[in-house]
Amino acid sequence: MDVAALLQEAGKAQQISYSPYSRFKVGAALLGKSGQVYTGTNIENSSYGLSICAERTALFNAINQGEREFQAIAVKGSGKGYIYPCGACLQVLAEFAPQLQIIVGNEQDEWEDYLLSDLLPQAFKLSSQEG
Ligand code: THU
Protein backbone atom coordinates (compact mmCIF):
# COMPACT_ATOMS: atom_id res chain seq x y z
CA MET A 1 0.00 0.00 0.00
CA ASP A 2 1.20 3.50 -0.87
CA VAL A 3 0.66 5.37 2.41
CA ALA A 4 1.87 8.70 1.02
CA ALA A 5 -0.62 8.49 -1.87
CA LEU A 6 -3.48 7.61 0.49
CA LEU A 7 -2.60 10.56 2.74
CA GLN A 8 -2.45 12.79 -0.30
CA GLU A 9 -6.02 11.77 -1.21
CA ALA A 10 -7.10 12.53 2.37
CA GLY A 11 -5.47 15.95 2.03
CA LYS A 12 -7.41 16.65 -1.18
CA ALA A 13 -10.68 15.71 0.51
CA GLN A 14 -9.79 17.94 3.46
CA GLN A 15 -9.64 20.95 1.14
CA ILE A 16 -13.31 20.57 0.17
CA SER A 17 -14.54 20.33 3.77
CA TYR A 18 -17.80 22.13 4.52
CA SER A 19 -17.08 23.24 8.08
CA PRO A 20 -18.19 26.87 8.52
CA TYR A 21 -19.09 26.31 12.21
CA SER A 22 -16.01 24.60 13.61
CA ARG A 23 -13.60 25.78 10.90
CA PHE A 24 -11.97 22.39 11.40
CA LYS A 25 -11.35 20.67 8.08
CA VAL A 26 -10.96 16.89 7.97
CA GLY A 27 -10.32 14.61 5.03
CA ALA A 28 -10.34 10.81 4.85
CA ALA A 29 -9.30 8.34 2.16
CA LEU A 30 -10.50 4.75 2.49
CA LEU A 31 -8.69 2.02 0.56
CA GLY A 32 -10.95 -0.82 -0.53
CA LYS A 33 -9.74 -4.42 -0.93
CA SER A 34 -10.27 -3.87 -4.68
CA GLY A 35 -7.60 -1.16 -4.63
CA GLN A 36 -10.13 1.62 -5.22
CA VAL A 37 -9.86 4.69 -2.97
CA TYR A 38 -12.97 6.42 -1.61
CA THR A 39 -12.66 9.87 -0.11
CA GLY A 40 -14.79 11.84 2.30
CA THR A 41 -14.78 15.16 4.09
CA ASN A 42 -16.66 16.51 7.09
CA ILE A 43 -19.96 18.17 6.24
CA GLU A 44 -21.47 20.38 8.92
CA ASN A 45 -24.98 21.70 9.42
CA SER A 46 -26.44 24.72 11.20
CA SER A 47 -28.23 22.14 13.35
CA TYR A 48 -24.81 21.04 14.62
CA GLY A 49 -25.74 17.49 15.60
CA LEU A 50 -26.57 16.66 12.00
CA SER A 51 -22.97 17.17 10.91
CA ILE A 52 -21.03 14.16 9.66
CA CYS A 53 -17.34 13.33 10.01
CA ALA A 54 -14.98 12.78 7.09
CA GLU A 55 -14.46 9.10 7.95
CA ARG A 56 -18.14 8.20 7.78
CA THR A 57 -18.58 10.23 4.59
CA ALA A 58 -15.76 8.17 3.03
CA LEU A 59 -17.24 4.88 4.25
CA PHE A 60 -20.75 5.69 3.03
CA ASN A 61 -19.31 6.83 -0.29
CA ALA A 62 -17.63 3.41 -0.63
CA ILE A 63 -20.65 1.37 0.44
CA ASN A 64 -22.78 3.38 -1.95
CA GLN A 65 -20.45 2.32 -4.76
CA GLY A 66 -20.66 -1.37 -3.85
CA GLU A 67 -17.38 -1.91 -1.99
CA ARG A 68 -17.69 -3.62 1.40
CA GLU A 69 -14.19 -4.72 2.36
CA PHE A 70 -11.42 -2.35 3.27
CA GLN A 71 -7.68 -2.35 3.94
CA ALA A 72 -6.92 1.07 5.40
CA ILE A 73 -8.12 4.60 6.01
CA ALA A 74 -5.95 7.72 6.04
CA VAL A 75 -7.12 10.79 7.96
CA LYS A 76 -5.86 14.37 7.95
CA GLY A 77 -7.21 17.30 9.97
CA SER A 78 -6.63 21.00 10.55
CA GLY A 79 -3.80 21.95 12.87
CA LYS A 80 -0.36 20.56 13.51
CA GLY A 81 -1.30 17.37 15.34
CA TYR A 82 -2.74 14.05 14.33
CA ILE A 83 -6.52 13.55 14.07
CA TYR A 84 -7.80 10.26 15.43
CA PRO A 85 -11.23 9.06 14.26
CA CYS A 86 -13.95 9.70 16.84
CA GLY A 87 -15.67 6.84 18.65
CA ALA A 88 -18.77 7.04 16.47
CA CYS A 89 -16.70 6.67 13.29
CA LEU A 90 -14.68 3.79 14.77
CA GLN A 91 -17.92 1.96 15.57
CA VAL A 92 -19.28 2.51 12.07
CA LEU A 93 -16.00 1.46 10.43
CA ALA A 94 -15.91 -1.67 12.63
CA GLU A 95 -19.17 -2.82 11.06
CA PHE A 96 -17.35 -3.48 7.80
CA ALA A 97 -13.65 -3.67 8.67
CA PRO A 98 -12.81 -4.63 12.26
CA GLN A 99 -9.16 -5.17 11.24
CA LEU A 100 -8.87 -1.85 9.41
CA GLN A 101 -5.50 -0.09 9.39
CA ILE A 102 -5.87 3.54 10.49
CA ILE A 103 -3.24 6.00 9.27
CA VAL A 104 -3.17 9.49 10.76
CA GLY A 105 -1.15 12.20 9.05
CA ASN A 106 -0.10 15.71 10.04
CA GLU A 107 0.87 18.85 8.13
CA GLN A 108 4.57 17.95 8.27
CA ASP A 109 3.92 14.82 6.17
CA GLU A 110 4.56 12.60 9.19
CA TRP A 111 2.22 9.75 9.98
CA GLU A 112 1.42 7.03 12.47
CA ASP A 113 -0.59 3.89 11.97
CA TYR A 114 -2.84 1.82 14.19
CA LEU A 115 -5.34 -0.97 13.93
CA LEU A 116 -9.00 -0.16 14.48
CA SER A 117 -8.95 -2.78 17.23
CA ASP A 118 -6.19 -0.77 19.03
CA LEU A 119 -8.41 2.33 19.11
CA LEU A 120 -11.72 0.53 19.75
CA PRO A 121 -10.93 -2.86 21.32
CA GLN A 122 -14.54 -3.75 22.09
CA ALA A 123 -16.75 -2.51 19.27
CA PHE A 124 -20.43 -3.12 19.79
CA LYS A 125 -21.70 -6.08 17.78
CA LEU A 126 -25.06 -7.79 17.78
CA SER A 127 -24.66 -11.52 18.28
CA SER A 128 -26.92 -12.31 15.34
CA GLN A 129 -27.00 -10.08 12.32
CA GLU A 130 -28.70 -10.11 9.00
CA GLY A 131 -26.94 -8.68 6.08
N1 THU B 1 -14.48 15.52 12.63
C2 THU B 1 -14.21 14.61 11.64
O3 THU B 1 -14.57 14.82 10.49
N4 THU B 1 -13.54 13.49 11.97
C5 THU B 1 -13.07 13.19 13.22
O6 THU B 1 -12.46 12.16 13.41
C7 THU B 1 -13.32 14.12 14.32
C8 THU B 1 -14.10 15.33 14.00
C9 THU B 1 -15.18 16.76 12.28
C10 THU B 1 -16.57 16.89 12.81
C11 THU B 1 -16.74 18.39 12.80
O12 THU B 1 -17.15 18.81 11.51
C13 THU B 1 -15.34 18.93 13.04
O14 THU B 1 -14.46 17.86 12.77
C15 THU B 1 -15.10 19.44 14.45
O16 THU B 1 -15.49 18.50 15.39
107 is catalytic: no
Residue 113 CA to residue 19 CA, distance in Å, equals 26
What is the pTM (predicted TM-score) of this model? Answer: 0.95
The angle subtended at Cα 102 by Cα 101 and Cα 103, nearest 5°, is 115
Atom of ligand 1 lying closest to residue 51 CA = 12
Any atom of ligand 1 within 6 Å of the Cβ of 89: yes
Nearest of 26, 29, 25 to residue 9 by alpha carbon: 29
Any atom of ligand 1 within 6 Å of the Cβ of 91: no
Q: Measure 53 CA to ligand 1 centroid, in angstroms.
A: 5
Helices within the chain (DSSP H only): 3-15, 54-64, 87-96, 116-119
Each of the 131 residues of the chain gets a pLDDT tens digit; together they read 899 999 999 999 999 999 999 999 999 999 999 999 999 999 999 999 999 999 999 999 999 999 999 999 999 999 889 999 999 999 999 999 999 999 999 999 999 999 999 999 999 999 755 55
